A and B are shown apart, each in its own frame.
Chain A
Amino acid sequence: MTSNSSPVLYAIQYSEFDIKKGACVYYETMKTNFSEDQKFHWIRNFVCPEPNLQNKLIVLSIENQKLLGCPVIISDGEKYKNNRNEFRFNACFIIPSQADALKYEVAVRKLAKYLRTLEVDSCFLTDESLKKQFLKPALDEIVRQINENGEQCSVKMYSSVFVNLKLLEQRAEPPPVASSDVPMFCNNIDLSDLEQMDPMTQRVIASIDGLRHVNKISQDTDTELALVKAAMQNLIYHNVIRLVPIFSYKNRYIVTPKIQELYADVNLQKELVFFVVRNGAKDCVSFYECFRMICAFDHGSLVKDVVNKMKANNIDEKKLVQYCALKGYLRRVRDYRISLDESIYMNNNTETSNGNAEEVEAAKSKLKKTLRDLCDGTNDSDSLACQGYIFNPRSIPTARKPTQQPTAPMDSYLTLWK
């Protein structure tokens, strides 16, 4: 049991229903808040409750300890004829109150199920000698193992029955992956882990270089886009990669308050400096240069402007920008094109495009309609680009596929940088 912080699991309390005494504790691995007579008197209704609470997870807390139990009732008129025709027991976990009960739920339920099966098959819990010989050391061992490695245990309970329990950390669902996102490793990965990954992941993981976006990876590895996205989502869940925006010299970025951490922590500075050195450079760059370069991203400046301004020879701007985006020092300022369809701007738009041939006209209007629909403030330029529309900074976005000149004037679109 660790002394510095509160352990993962204080104790396991095994209690059962006795016809003479009512609910009572048979064995507990350690004395807890719940073992005192008065406290136990309060919780006995929960520990060995009436049938309507059986097989339900019950969580109670006293002071700074929480009790998790899943009461079990086995009804058998033959076997328990001396015991009101049923047998009630409960193996409760006692955990620190600030811990998340959801994490333990599966383990508590599984242990209850194991014990129930053992009891039904071989009277494990009603045979006094078996209980004494196997149950007590097994419970002790479970608590010891879980506290030791923090999440799981594998304990031999009786004859050939092994109890495998694992505490499940609740993790947030990984966000959906867009075609325009760029995956980037956030830790050094162990190549030996690679063999354990599924073939799909093995196929795409080599293409992750911090610059290629999901769409490109899918094309380069000749795999289906949806599968690549799923693989990426899986990797995000396991905290192997994180998503950053596409790098481009005409991107804009803004510094985030997180840069304060970088300024204060020498280790982070070292990591940054070692990362951003241009390949083949003889010397390491100074933090002074890097930091000034990061600070030069002020919402308005494009990456190429910053590069031209700083003239830092040994800094690889791609690495710098992607690294800072990964670490959250920089936030991409995305541009959203928004079409102003309800307004008067549409009129001169139709006039200019009158001269074209009928078929082209029809195709174009159809195309334009979809583009106009896309430009409603929910798609930024990256996601439009992934759908085949590219931006010309001087005019409206045009479709790449049919070769046409853009005819709509600039002012029917708004650009919002956010």
Chain B
Amino acid sequence: MDRIAFEKDLIAILLVVESAHDKNKLLYKYEQANTNIREPEPVNFHTSYSIVIAKDFDPPSVKDDDAPRTTFQNFDETTIAILTSPNSYGSHVEVQVDDVIFVGHTLGLEQSTDLKSFAIFFVLRAIAKASVIISYQEMSQRIGTAIRCEEQRVHYLKNEYDKLLTFIQPHEIAASDSSNRRQNEDDKAREIREQAYSTMAEESQLAATLKQIFTDLQVSGEINITINNWLNVSCCLPHRSIALNCSLEPDFAFNVLSNAEQILKPYYGILLVIDPSALLASLPIDSSSTLSTLVRHLRSSYSMSRLSLETGLPLPQIYRLASHLLYWGRAKLIYPIYDDNVYIISPDADISKHGSLSKLYKETFRNTTNYPTLQEALAEYSDAVPFYDHTNRSDNDSELQERLQCVEWLLRHRLLVQVHYYYYLVLPNDNRSDFKDEYKQTRLPRPRVPLRRNQYSSNLFESSSKNERFHLTSENIDIRGNLLSVNSYDYNMASSPSTNQFSYSSTHHSRSTDTLKTMTGTSQDDVFASSSVNSNTTTDTGRYASHYLTKVSQALPNEQLEYQKSLAIAIKDAKEQHVTDFLRLIKYFNGTYHLEEITIMENMTRLQVLTIIEKFQSIVARALHPDPNPILQI
């Protein structure tokens, strides 16, 4: 773990208890020791000319980082008790005052006669993200539930309450005595009170536990504590599992982490971020045995479906364990390391020579035969070439092993991203993306001199040039019209073989006129679109088009007829077998499936898929980019 950044939002932890005989009371408070000594207030010279600068309108975010802490320190115990007083039991609570926010979960104690409710509150900076607030509330709920269990079992909270009260009471009496004290007395009282809190942590077990929770959260974002030496509570703040250089919105990433199971794919692999033996050692005694089985079987070249075979665990369980590891920041999801993978350097990678990762690399790979510096190791992935090309150069096994280790290390630290090939079906004669008419109407200047405008009835057509040309080719149209009736006959037979003789004639008629209309429409376009690649949709193409049209409409039932038709025209020259194969894969050519996914979905080899695609290169565009699934970026 190379994350040493402290939890910035957390200011303090509080324990408040509402007893049956008393109002809500702050029992214990632990805040971070103030490391930086506060600067003495600048001496104010009160003259009649001094200008008072209004600072009230500054939103909290523009104030400095330490401001919330000072705000919190200015609250006295009664104020905090009022702020944290319960509204209803068993619900998340969130109260913001200026730039401080109190979050927690109030739990009612129905079975206890002395205590009514209690809550553990976390004091955060108000600019904390919504997801952070939720995770703190959930943590408060977990710890609270454990304490409530202990209360019901052995009156743990009641005992601790009485114990802690003995520390507080003398101060309270003193405080109520002198209702209008002077400033320095106030400070003194506060100091004494602070001391009381530190003695509490030594005397009371619960206070010590809370203090432990605070420090653990600050340092690692995880807690693993035992309440009353009996109940184990371990949970973590998921936003700490998300890497610092992750480009996702924190709230969105939190969402992804919480619902990871839904977006996992069987062909993803798991890469542990920490050493497997360290992970196994850190697991609690009552942890799931399947988790340790999974960890023992993990390889960076295994996909989850393969892991499922190796371990004998069902795939949903692997998913659950994987998302659990991910939630705790112990693992990263990758595409398994295969020879065909293409890696590039991550755009947000820190490649500077004096960065922390450079140093870490040198420490990790001190006695390697490989590259001595991080930059040299990365240089290998500077060009997008398959991994195979890198491994090919090294001969013996140990070198190969080292290379694999190196890649794992680079992936773990997000220095590399994998790119995949995605396929898009684009048709040169696609009507939907035909903007020529609109372009002509809106962008090009109108022709200045109408050509032979009066010769024809010009109001039928938009521009005179069109008009002219149309008539030049009108002979063709006639011929085509004749052919079309034949074509549409074929087409009708092919598309609706079940139509009986009686209904046939009527459908035939209507369809043929329809087709005639559309065909004349396209032909009109074709005449002008001389630059279009597949412009020869004239005369005999219709016949071939209809040849594959049934298959196309079966493969893409949701597309419009127009589109199906242009696709059929585009593939008219291909062989039957190729077309069948191609149409089988066509649903993957919308850019949401990468090559590896296609091979897995169709149970084909890469080579097979690539050969099929190669035949239809002219209508399938290939794009190389990373997998957009957010789970891979966490």
Binding site for B on A (CB under 8 A): 39, 42, 45-46, 49-50, 52-53, 55-62, 101-102, 105-106, 109-110, 113, 168, 170, 254-257, 259-260, 263-264, 266, 269-270, 273-274, 277, 282-284, 286-288, 291-292, 294-295, 298-300, 314, 331, 333, 336, 338, 340, 343, 376-378, 414-418
Please give the residue numbers on chain B whose beta carbons come within 8 Å of chain A beta carbons, in ascending order.
56-57, 59-61, 74-76, 78-79, 82-83, 85, 87, 94-98, 101, 126-127, 344-347, 349, 351-355, 372-373, 375-376, 378-379, 382-384, 419, 424, 426-428, 430, 432-436, 438-440, 443-444, 529, 531-533, 590-592, 621-628
Question: Are A57 and B97 CB-contacts (below 8 A) given A106-B59, A260-B628?
Answer: yes
Q: Which of B74, B384, B430, B436 counts the most A-chain CB atoms under 10 A from its CB?
A: B384
Do B383 and A417 touch (CB < 8 A)? yes
Verify A61–B59 contact, CB threshold 8 A.
Answer: no
B96 touches A378 (CB 8 A): no
Is A338 a contact of B351 with CB atoms below 8 Å?
yes
- With A257-B628, A417-B345 known, 7 other A-B pairs at CB within 8 A are A58-B95, A59-B101, A260-B628, A273-B435, A284-B435, A284-B440, A294-B623
A327 to B: closest C-beta gap in Å? 14
Asked if A270 and B435 sit within 8 Å, CB to CB, the answer is: yes
Report which of A55, A266, A284 forms a contact with B439, defined as CB distance below 8 A: A284
CB-CB under 8 A for A102 and B436, given A57-B96, A299-B624: no
A58 to B94 alpha-carbon distance, docked (Å)? 11
Is B591 a contact partner of A259 (Cβ separation < 8 A)? yes
Chain A minimum-CB-distance residue to B75: A52
Contact A257 B433 (CB under 8 A): no
Partner of A254 from B344, B428, B434 at Cβ < 8 Å:
B344
Whole-angstrom distance between the Cβ of B307 and the nearest chain A Cβ: 27
Q: A106-B57, A263-B590, A274-B435 are in contact. Are A286 and B532 (CB under 8 A)?
A: yes
Question: A377, B352: Cβ atoms under 8 Å?
Answer: yes
CB-contact partner of B60 in A105, A264, A266, A286, under 8 A: A105
Which of chain B's residues has its CB closest to A103's CB?
A: B59
CB closest residue in chain B, given A98: B130
State in angstroms the CA–CA spacing of A277 and B375 once bound together: 41
Contact in complex: B347, A314 (CB < 8 Å): no
B345: contacting residue among A260, A294, A416, CB under 8 A: A416
Partner of B533, one of A61, A273, A288: A288
Task: Tell me the bound Cα distance from A58 to B82 in angstroms.
Answer: 13
Known A269-B433, A414-B375: A263·B344 in contact at CB below 8 Å: no
The minimal Cβ–Cβ distance linking B417 to chain A, given in whole angstroms, is 10
Contact across chains for B384 and A300 when beta carbons are under 8 A apart = yes
Q: Is A299's CB under 8 angstroms from B353's CB?
A: no
Give the contacting residue for A291; candidates B345, B351, B621, B625; CB below 8 A: B621
Q: Are A170 and B59 in contact (CB under 8 A)?
A: yes
Interface of B is mostly: loop
Q: B621 contacts which of A295, A343, A417 (Cβ < 8 Å)? A: A295
B97 touches A338 (CB 8 A): no
Q: Determine whether the beta carbon of A110 is less than 8 Å from that of B57.
A: yes
Min Cβ gap B74→A in Å is 8
Q: Which B residues are CB-close (under 8 A) to A260? A: 591-592, 628
Question: Main SS of the interface on chain A?
Answer: mixed
In the complex, the answer to whether A416 meets B426 with C-beta atoms within 8 Å is no
In the complex, the number of residue pairs spanning A and B with C-beta atoms less than 8 Å apart equals 182
Nearest A residue to B382, CB-CB: A417
Which residue from B344, B533, B591 sits with its C-beta under 8 Å from A418?
Answer: B344
- B134 to chain A minimum Cβ distance, whole angstroms, is 13
Q: Decide: A270 near B379, CB < 8 A? Known: A62-B87, A288-B430, A418-B346.
A: no
Give the distance to chain B from A405, nearest Cβ to Cβ, in Å: 26
Q: Which residues of A contact B61 (CB under 8 A)?
A: 102, 170
* B97:A299 contact, CB within 8 angstroms: no
Q: How far is the CA of A60 from the CA of B84 in the complex (A)?
A: 11
Smallest CB–CB gap between B444 and chain A, Å? 7
User: What is the CA–CA distance of A254 and B417 in the complex, to the nearest angstrom?
Assistant: 13
Q: Chain B residues near A294 (CB, 8 Å)?
A: 623
Complex contacts, A269 vs chain B, CB 8 Å: 433, 435
Chain B, Cβ-Cβ closest to A330: B625
Residue pair A256, B352 in contact (C-beta under 8 Å): no
Which residues of the other chain, A, contact B76 by a CB distance below 8 angstroms?
Answer: 52
Decide: A338 near B426, CB < 8 A? Known: A52-B79, A287-B433: no
A-B contact pairs, 20 of them (CB 8 A): A42-B85, A45-B82, A50-B78, A52-B79, A59-B95, A102-B60, A105-B60, A109-B57, A113-B56, A255-B623, A259-B625, A260-B591, A277-B439, A286-B433, A288-B428, A298-B623, A338-B375, A340-B375, A414-B376, A417-B383
B626 to chain A, nearest CB (A): 7
In the complex, the answer to whether A288 meets B433 with C-beta atoms within 8 Å is yes
Q: Are B379 and A414 in contact (CB under 8 A)?
A: yes
Measured CB to CB, the closest approach of chain A to B428, in angstroms, equals: 4
Docked complex Cα distance between A105 and B85 (Å): 24
Instruction: Knowing A284-B435, A414-B375, say if A102 contacts B426 (CB, 8 Å).
Output: no
Residues of A within 8 A of B436 (CB): 283-284
Q: How far is the CA of A283 from the CA of B531 in the complex (A)?
A: 9
Asked whether, in the complex, the Cβ of A418 is within 8 Å of the Cβ of B347, the reply is yes
User: Lowest 8 A-B CB distances belong to which pairs?
Assistant: A257-B628, A284-B439, A59-B96, A287-B433, A418-B345, A377-B352, A299-B384, A377-B351
Do B351 and A336 touch (CB < 8 A)? yes
CB distance from A112 to the nearest CB of B (A): 10
Instruction: State the CA gap A60–B627 with chains docked (Å).
Output: 41
| Contact A338–B347 (Cβ < 8 Å) | no
Contact indicator B98/A255 (Cβ below 8 Å): no
Cβ distance B145 to chain A, nearest Cβ, rounded Å: 22
A56 touches B353 (CB 8 A): no
B433-A331 in contact (CB<8A): no
The CA-CA distance from A254 to B82 in the complex, in Å, is 57
Quick one: closest B residue to A273, CB to CB? Answer: B435
CB A34 to nearest CB in B, in angstroms, measures: 11
Which residues of chain A come closer than 8 Å to B355, judged between CB atoms? 377
B433–A254 touching, CB < 8 Å:
no
Closest B-chain residue to A293, C-beta based? B621
CB distance from B463 to the nearest CB of A (A): 13
Query: What's the least CB distance linking A244 to chain B, in Å?
Result: 15
Q: What is the bound-complex CA distance between A416 and B371, given in angstroms?
A: 15
Chain B residue numbers with a CB within 8 Å of A61 are 94
Contact A263 B347 (CB under 8 A): no
Which residues of A sit under 8 angstroms from B353, Cβ to Cβ? 338, 376-377
Is B384 within 8 A of A274, CB to CB? no
> Does B419 contact A286, Cβ atoms closer than 8 Å?
no
Q: Does the CB pair B379–A416 fall under 8 Å?
A: yes
A300 to B438 Cα, complex, angstroms: 36
Residues on the A chain within 8 Å of B529, using CB: 283
Contact among A39, A49, A264, A416 with B82 in the assembled complex (CB-CB below 8 Å)? A49
**How far apart are the CA atoms of A338 and B436 in the complex, in Å?**
48
Q: How far is the CA of A46 from the CA of B85 in the complex (A)?
A: 11
Please measure, in the bound complex, the distance between the C-alpha atom of A331 and the C-alpha atom of B347, giving whole angstroms. Answer: 9
Task: Answer whether A101 and B96 are a contact pair too, CB < 8 Å, given A52-B79, A376-B352.
Answer: yes
Report if A295-B623 is in contact (Cβ < 8 Å); known contacts: A57-B96, A109-B57: yes
Please indicate which of the listed interface residues A42, A314, A338 has the most CB atoms of chain B within 10 Å of its own CB.
A338
Given contacts A286-B433, A300-B383, contact A263 B424 (CB under 8 A): yes
With A60-B95, A106-B59: A274-B443 Cβ-Cβ less than 8 Å: yes
When distances are taken between beta carbons in the complex, the residues of chain A under 8 Å from B591 are 259-260, 263
Contacts of A418 in B (CB 8 A): 344-347, 349, 351, 382
**B-side contacts of A378, CB under 8 Å:** 352
Q: How close is B137's CB to chain A, nearest CB, in angstroms? A: 12
Residues of A contacting B372 with CB < 8 Å? 343
Docked Cα-Cα span, A179 to B433, in Å, equals: 38
Question: With A and B bound together, what is the CA distance between A333 and B76 in angstroms?
Answer: 56
| Cβ contacts under 8 Å, B621 to chain A | 291-292, 295
